[in-house]
Amino acid sequence: MASVSLPARTTAVLLDIEGTTTPITFVKDVLFPYIREHLEDHLSSHWEEDECKQDVHLLKKQIEEDIKQNRACPVHTVDQTVHTDEEKAIREVVEDVLWQMAADRKSTALKQLQGHMWRAAYTSGRIRGEIYPDVVPCIKTWREHGLKVFIYSSGSVEAQKLLFGYSVEGDLLDLFDGHFDTTIGAKVDAKSYERIAERIGCQPEDITFLTDVTREAKAAEDAGMNVLLVVRPGNMELTEEESRHYNLITSFCHLQLTAHT
């Protein structure tokens, strides 16, 4: 694959994570299975701790809401009693979490519990963030050329910092000038990219965005950003038209900094 020149006016590079810096399978094959496998253990060993109590409280409120909305959730009544039967209570939470995950729910309650479990997994070294081998050396080169580097991912900023802070290549947080998640807006909405440029303090035209998803690429392009589509193993196939329209790279090393001295 031919290399692509970075426009001379680019001062900041904005990076997607899944399918761009990190294999798309990392979430599906590492992060989600971790929750499924360690959920019951996690709840039993932290049941009496405040953080876990809050997580369970939030999940129960979610279950109540689901019952009200008549969603087909597996728990039909919420046990209002103080937990006389801890095992039963834990089983209910496990059942509900597994159901939410199977249904690909994005509830705050689910995300909060998952976030706490992943934090423990990362900090204890049971999980390490996967990064493609070309990513770190290339970002270092870009930085040496004065470029700023930011992350924009649908994973929360906290989750992003865990992935890069506890990665297969160690703590990489120094490589980034800032992180954005969907609290700034959806990744398929052009407005989000305008807001990001505003926050960075430059024009959208000064930013080059790297992603694997064409709908995100389109939104960034509509906002005025320069866009490169990253082609990695396992990423979604591009249509012929998409392949023609976008500049494609299969490695960060294919980005040429000829105009940046």
Length reported for the chain: 261
In order, the DSSP letters of 204-222 are GGGEEEEES-HHHHHHHHH
CA angle 197, 202, 203 (to 5 degrees): 75
Rounded to 5 degrees, what are φ and ψ at 187?
Answer: -75, -15
8 A C-beta contact, residue 209 and residue 227:
yes
Q: Which of 74, 234 has the CB closer to Mg ion?
A: 234
C-alpha span between 19 and 148 (Å, rounded):
21
Say which amino acid occupies 33. P
Residues in 72-111 that interact with Mg ion by CB under 5 A: none
Q: Is 155 in the site for Mg ion (CB under 5 A)?
A: no
16 appears as a binding residue in the annotation: yes
Q: Is 16 in the site for Mg ion (CB under 5 A)?
A: yes
> Residue 201 in 3-state DSSP?
coil
Q: Which of 113, 151 has the CB closer to Mg ion?
A: 151
Smallest separation (angstroms) from Mg ion to the CB of 97:
25
Q: Is 212 in the site for Mg ion (CB under 5 A)?
A: yes
Q: Is 221 in the site for Mg ion (CB under 5 A)?
A: no
Q: Which of 123, 243 has the CB closer to Mg ion?
A: 243
Among residues 10, 13, 18, 122, the one that binds Mg ion under rule CB under 5 A: 18
Rounded to 5 degrees, what are φ and ψ at 73?
Answer: -85, 155
Secondary structure letter of residue 209 according to DSSP: E
Count of residues engaged in binding Mg ion, rule: CB under 5 A: 4
Smallest separation (angstroms) from Mg ion to the CB of 181:
13
48 appears as a binding residue in the annotation: no
Q: Which of 99, 246 has the CB closer to Mg ion?
A: 246
Smallest separation (angstroms) from Mg ion to the CB of 173:
20
Q: Which of 92, 212 has the CB closer to Mg ion?
A: 212
Residues 6+ apart with CB under 8 A from 232: 19, 20, 23, 24, 132, 212, 250
Smallest separation (angstroms) from Mg ion to the CB of 206:
22
Partners of 13 in beta bridges: 149, 208
8 A C-beta contact, residue 228 and residue 255:
yes
**By beta-carbon distance, which residue lies closest to Mg ion?**
19
Choose the stretch contacting Mg ion; rule: CB under 5 A; options: 34-42, 192-200, 205-213, 244-252. Answer: 205-213
Q: Report the interface residues with Mg ion, using CB under 5 A.
A: 16, 18-19, 212
